[in-house]
Amino acid sequence: MFKFFSASNIYSFIQKLIKFINSIFFLILIIGLTFALVLSPPDYIQGDSVRIMYVHVPSAWLGLASFSVITLLSILNFIFKIKNFYFINKSIAPIGLLFTSLAIVTGSLWGQPTWGTWWAWDARLTSMLILMLFYVFYILSFKLINNEETTIKVSSIIAIVGSINIPIIKYSVDWWNTLHQPASIKISGSSSIHSAMLVPLLLMLLVFLLYAALIFLMKYKTEIIRIKKKNIKRI
């Protein structure tokens, strides 16, 4: 089953996926923005500033999800020695950093009118900042270390150590007193968010997922081309 991850087997599949995402992305974007900016109601306390949620929340989710995937693939690479997992992680990391940074910036923009401050050193905000730093260290390991085997080991260690921060981010609002409210959307149990806001939020999550997938596929395709050129030079 791991042969699926070989560069030669997935290149054409990536091309098809890129074309498909490009064909639907702008339609989904228009629908998502229409629901988020026009059809969704303002909050009874926060007013229209609550619309920042439709960017902030999906960004935070994708920042966390990206690092979780990086950690999982790093562990699998340690066990099965599948180098393509390293190249997948190398393509995911900048996307995760982008969304984590976007979550912090939009959270600050949302916090100022809601809490009266741009920043507070509470558990959720601080742990998200630490996640961003782990992304920076992870990406720097590619830039500063020339030996590929050493880069794989160092980057994997950074990912595995950084994964300790993931549950801290998730449960910080339950473990400590923070400015953040508890989770409004729950997989098990009833969610407290109204469907009029949940639908736009899920639509914007889909938009961000498609955008992340598109950027990842283009970056991974570039990695495949680079690997092929490297192999040709060796021959």
Give me the average pLDDT of each 10-residue run along the chain (235 residues): 58 91 97 96 88 95 97 92 90 97 93 84 91 97 92 94 94 79 65 86 97 96 83 61
As given in the structure block, the two tokens for residue 26 are: 């702008």
pLDDT for the residue numbered 186: 64
Rounded Cα gap, residues 60 and 215, in angstroms? 17
Amino acid at 207: V
Backbone angles phi, psi at 43, to 5 degrees: -75, 145
**Domain range list for the chain:** 18-37+50-177+195-234
pLDDT for the residue numbered 171: 86
3-state secondary structure of 220: helix
pLDDT for the residue numbered 69: 97
pLDDT for the residue numbered 1: 47
As given in the structure block, the two tokens for residue 19 are: 């074309």
Cβ-contact 199, 35 below 8 angstroms: yes
pLDDT for the residue numbered 234: 59
pLDDT for the residue numbered 27: 98
